Chains A and B, each alone.
Chain A
Amino acid sequence: MHALAERIKREFPDGFVDAVEWRGDLAVTVRPAALHAVAGFLRHDPEIDCDYMVHVSSVDWPDAEERFEVVWEVASIRKRHRVRLKTRVSEAECQVDSLTDVWHGANFMEREVYDMMGIRFRNHPDLRRILMPDDYTEGYPLRKDFPLQGKGWRDTFEFLNEKA
């Protein structure tokens, strides 16, 4: 196992789920309860020192019990490594801790995840839609059960239905 994953496992034996290394990328999955503590550890531990926020993303696995996967990718400029921190959450709960207080950049990126996938972030300072309109009611477009053509809102645009 990657040394960094080893450290996380040692520090958080209860929170650690698994670590995968593929094509040179390290992805560590942790339990939602331990997420915030692991993130703080990655950020502040002098050996790991992940000071750079790369991206926040989410993946929808409709058939899995824990349907949503939230992904934070962080890197350390000084130590030259990257790690992908992941956590899984069920559709019923659909809420994870926000990491905005650990990395400022998580603010907008988590808002995007909320907007696109409908996962809520606990203690997020400003959890609103960011790309879709504020009054958008059709749901969350990047979920797998959302049809590519939308759910009909588009058809209400008059100019699209005009006969030439």
Chain B
Amino acid sequence: MNDTEKTYRFEDQRDTVYKVNPEHPETATLPLQRTEELLLNMGPQHPSTHGVLKVILELEGERLVKSTPVMGYLHRGVEKLAEDGTYHQFIPHTDRLDYVCAMYNNFAYCRAVEKLMNIAVPERAEYLRTIVAEVQRIIGHQFWLGTQALDIGAMTVFFYTFRDREILLDWFDELCGARLTTSWYRIGGVERDLTPSLIAKLRAFLDYFPPKIDEYQVFLEKNRIWLARTKGVAVISAEDALSFGLSGPTLRGSGVDYDLRKYEAYAAYPRCDFNVPVGKNGDTYDRYWIRVMELYESVKIVKQCLDQMQEGPIMASVPSVTLPPKDRVFTNLDSMIQQFKLFSQGFDAPPGEIYCGTEAHKGELGFYIVSTGGGKPYRMKIRSPSFIHMGAFDHMSRGYMIADAVTIFGTYDIVMGECDR
């Protein structure tokens, strides 16, 4: 499985005629009769931008000399909205950040508020959070793999990954009633427990899925077009990647072993045995390879969590902050009043400021919350990996062809809802 040699065996067949870059030595230009600068607007409506994003490409022949991302088409002022609502009220807003993987946004946000309020989450809730987060990681990487292959021209993979993604989305539907905008995490725990039916379905999926990952790879690993368009494209060195603030698979592709799941060891991750795949060339292919390997690792994590999980409460018992159990809300007046007050007035947060980052499938999703006391955050900054990855776009695209711009959006796994907030 971790056989790197196997995946690199096509190295010598690499098509190097048009690829020059490594760290753009100013783009070994073909002899051109250049009379004027050519600017090309790519987007805002372009199928490969996965949303609404424009990039102004400055061209030398077909090579990119400079690219300027123009963002903000999906800016909704989420950070401003956060200042106007209570902490509980903001959870559904986080779904709309990275709408492909809403669970991760919920998770990152709840973790940040728990750090602010200094709440410990019960053990079973930690396991449930880890399971659902890893299922979300599988969904995210399936989505990424399908669309990235589609952008590059390998259409078939898309159907296979989306077929399997559908199973998990239906699973989410049964878990929380929504496929995409889930809002399942709560401050201090989770909204509801896994039912036996859900556990059975998940276990069945875990047996079904690993052979399917092999299947995805069969389409791509020996596909010469895929290899030619991913190997040696968008190379970034480890030092630059760190300086740009890249994170997640985009950073690990450059050989930096930085994963908050290991680094901060939150939720049930310290009790699970898993590897963090790390690339070595820092190119699009390595980032692809890491994501595929992470699919295997996520399956491992979910299996271990299901085995280790014990019965117990799923919500911390801090009545001034956490929500009362739903069945009590419907039958008990005090609980109903408590729930109403928590949502409408919020809880009293201590003055102070925290930053809490969580490893989402795209990278480090962080929330910086400044509180001055009271029920609403004074300032909330969302550190979204997509936005920060776009900052490196110009650096990573210089010297490559126009068509490679498409693969570079893809390699960040960009979602504009999160990028523009």
Contacts and interface: CB of A to CB of B under 8 A. Distances in A.
B245 A133 contact: no
Interface of A: 22-23, 25, 27, 51-55, 57, 59-60, 71, 73, 77, 80, 82, 84, 103-105, 107-109, 112, 116, 129-133, 141-142, 146, 148
Max chain A Cβ within 10 angstroms of own Cβ: one of B83, B242, B370: B242
Interface in B370-393: 370, 378-379, 381, 383, 387-388, 390-392
Contacts of B391: 104-105, 107-109
Nearest to B84: A148
Closest 6 CB pairs of A and B: A105-B245, A108-B391, A53-B245, A131-B72, A57-B381, A55-B383
A108 B390 contact: yes
A18 B291 CA distance: 42
B245 A54 contact: yes
Given A105-B388, A105-B391, A25 B72 contact: no
A130 B75 CA distance: 10
Contact of B72 (A54, A84, A109, A130): A130
A57 to B, nearest CB: 4
A54 B355 contact: yes
A54 B35 CA distance: 42
Contacts of B353: 22, 25, 27
Q: How large is the interface on B (under 10, 10 to 19, 20 to 34, 35 or more residues)?
A: 35 or more
B187 to A, nearest CB: 15
B245 A52 contact: yes
B198 to A, nearest CB: 34
Interface in B341-374: 352-355, 357, 364, 366, 368, 370
B245 A103 contact: yes
B334 interface: no
Contacts of A109: 245, 388, 391
Contacts of A129: 72
A156 to B, nearest CB: 17
Max chain B Cβ within 10 angstroms of own Cβ: one of A22, A104, A142: A104
B71 interface: yes
Given A23-B118, A54-B355, A73-B355, A108 B387 contact: yes
Interface of B: 71-72, 75, 77, 79-81, 83-84, 115-116, 118, 239-240, 242-246, 256, 258, 263, 352-355, 357, 364, 366, 368, 370, 378-379, 381, 383, 387-388, 390-392, 395, 420-421
A59 B392 CA distance: 25
19 contacts: A22-B354, A23-B116, A23-B118, A53-B243, A54-B383, A57-B368, A60-B379, A71-B381, A103-B244, A104-B240, A104-B395, A105-B245, A105-B391, A130-B71, A130-B72, A131-B72, A132-B72, A146-B80, A148-B84
Contacts of A51: 239, 242-243
B420 A131 contact: yes
A82 B391 CA distance: 21
Nearest to A53: B245
Given A23-B116, A108-B391, A131 B75 contact: yes
A84 to B, nearest CB: 7
Given A57-B381, A108-B387, A131 B244 contact: no
A138 B203 CA distance: 54
Nearest to A132: B72
Given A23-B116, A53-B245, A54-B357, A131 B80 contact: no
A25 B354 contact: yes
A22 B245 CA distance: 24
A55 B390 contact: no
Nearest to A146: B80
A82 B368 CA distance: 13
Nearest to A103: B243
A55 B71 contact: no
A133 B379 CA distance: 23
Contacts of B239: 51
B263 to A, nearest CB: 7
A108 B354 CA distance: 22
Given A55-B366, A104-B244, A132-B75, A148 B81 contact: yes
A82 B354 CA distance: 12
Nearest to A102: B243
A55 B352 contact: no
A148 B244 CA distance: 32
A20 to B, nearest CB: 8
Max chain B Cβ within 10 angstroms of own Cβ: one of A51, A80, A105: A105
A14 to B, nearest CB: 25
A2 B353 CA distance: 17
Given A108-B388, A132-B72, A22 B77 contact: no
Contacts of B75: 131-132
Given A23-B116, A53-B244, A104-B391, 12 more contacts: A25-B354, A27-B353, A52-B242, A53-B243, A53-B245, A54-B357, A54-B383, A55-B368, A105-B245, A108-B390, A112-B387, A148-B83
A132 B263 CA distance: 35
Nearest to B393: A108
B391 to A, nearest CB: 4
A51 B245 CA distance: 9
A77 B71 contact: no
